[in-house]
A = this chain, B = another copy of it.
Amino acid sequence: MGVHDAMYILGGKWKIHLIAALLFGPKRYSDLLRDINGISGKVLSRELKEMEINQLVKRSVSNTQSNAVFYELTEYGESTKSIIAVLAEWGEAQREVIVHKNNDK
């Protein structure tokens, strides 16, 4: 079943958050550590390593900015855009549901 295959690759607490952040463009490790609320350095390193192995993300060294290391989505990683878009849409809609519920109290 497709859902299990997708969750095998995208499952866990952080991968969807990381992909959502990288959809805005290449990011440094320190950017990701700052942007992803609640993730530790150790977990971030492990998740990025897994995503490299799964070919969702590639690592490159910038020849301009003092050899800064950047992470960016591969074409394969970019293919998850449709999932991130639907999650974002659903999440936004839920926020309105929750706000309405709180206003009704």
Q: Is the CB of A13 within 8 A of B12?
A: yes
Q: A3-B17, A20-B3 are in contact. Are A86 and B83 (CB under 8 A)?
A: yes
**Copies of this chain, tallied across the complex:** 2
Whether A93 sits at the interface, judged by CB under 8 Å, is yes
- Judged by a CB distance under 8 angstroms, whether A82 is at the interface is yes
Minimum CB–CB distance from A98 to chain B (whole Å) comes to 8
Asked if A92 is at the interface of the complex by the 8 Å CB criterion, the answer is yes
A27 to B4, CA, bound (A): 19
Cα A5 to Cα B91 in complex, Å, equals: 5
Chain B residues within 8 Å of A90, by CB: 2, 6, 79-80, 82-83
Interface residues of A, Cβ cutoff 8 Å to B? 1-7, 9-13, 16-17, 20, 37, 76, 79-80, 82-84, 86-95, 97
